[in-house]
Amino acid sequence: MNLDPLNILLLAVALVVFWRLKSVLGTRTGTEKPPLDPFGTKRGDEQRGRESNETVVRFPQNAPPPGPADPEREPPAPVWTGFAEAGSELAASLEKLSEADPSFAPRSFVEGAKMAYEMIVDGFAKGDKAALKNLLSKEVFDGFARAIDERQAQGHRVESRFVGIDKATIQSASLVGGRKAAITLAFVSEMITATYDKAGEVIDGDPKEIREVTDVWTFERDVTSRNPNWKLVATEAPD
């Protein structure tokens, strides 16, 4: 058989490579990685466990169960704190309202009521019935709408500008039948308002004078409803 020197050299190299591979692949050192588990049943679970421990921000469902209560930690302040006197009827009413609707917070309610107050006063001055409709109960809306219609029929025009709301104080709160909540507030605001006739003459108010205005309004909401909005159900003159 004719043996080419180049073929003999290539055969020798192949034998050496084969021997080296066999010596490595056929020997276990005890440090080998386990075979890949395509379903992640064991190694994947261990990896996920390590990753969850390294999470910086824990989501509620991943948070560890609460430990024993800290006796030195102060309990949260009552919901009425800052809005009613301890032991008062108003404090008790706000407690009941909070129990019926855990999302209720007097501070947030008052801030929302102040926004609604300004929107309603502004909407009434402009005669904007569409803006008023979702903020008022049907009875109050009908009264506002009649006043707007009468004003427009007489050719009168109102200009009103808020300077600011000085105070918005909860006067009373109630929960009827475990579902209908009502809260009465007294608003003390400063505004510039004037009413003009057809000829453009001022017939009420003063376009240059800042007046202090006090209004007592009652808002109502069904706490069992998904609708979070309160509506104005009554207005009255202060005592």
State the average pLDDT over residues 156-162. 94
Asked if residue 171 has pLDDT above 60, the reply is: yes
d(CA 58, CA 30): 37
pLDDT band at residue 182, thresholds of 50, 70 and 90? very high
Residues 33-42: tens digit of each pLDDT: 444 343 343 4
d(CA 88, CA 103): 22
Query: What string of DSSP letters covers 160-193?
Result: EEEEEEEEEEEEEEEEETTTEEEEEEEEEEEEEE
Ranges of H-type helices in the chain:
5-25, 43-53, 89-100, 106-126, 129-133, 138-153
The structural domains of the chain, ordered by start, are 89-236 (3.10.450.240)
Residues 54-65: tens digit of each pLDDT: 333 333 344 444
Predicted pLDDT of residue 68: 61
For residue 135, with 0-12 CB atoms within 10 Å meaning exposed, 13-18 middle and 19 or more buried, which class applies?
buried
How many C-beta neighbours within 10 Å does residue 119 have?
A: 15
Task: Specify the pTM.
Answer: 0.68
The percentage of residues in the chain with a pLDDT greater than 70, rounded to a whole number, is 69
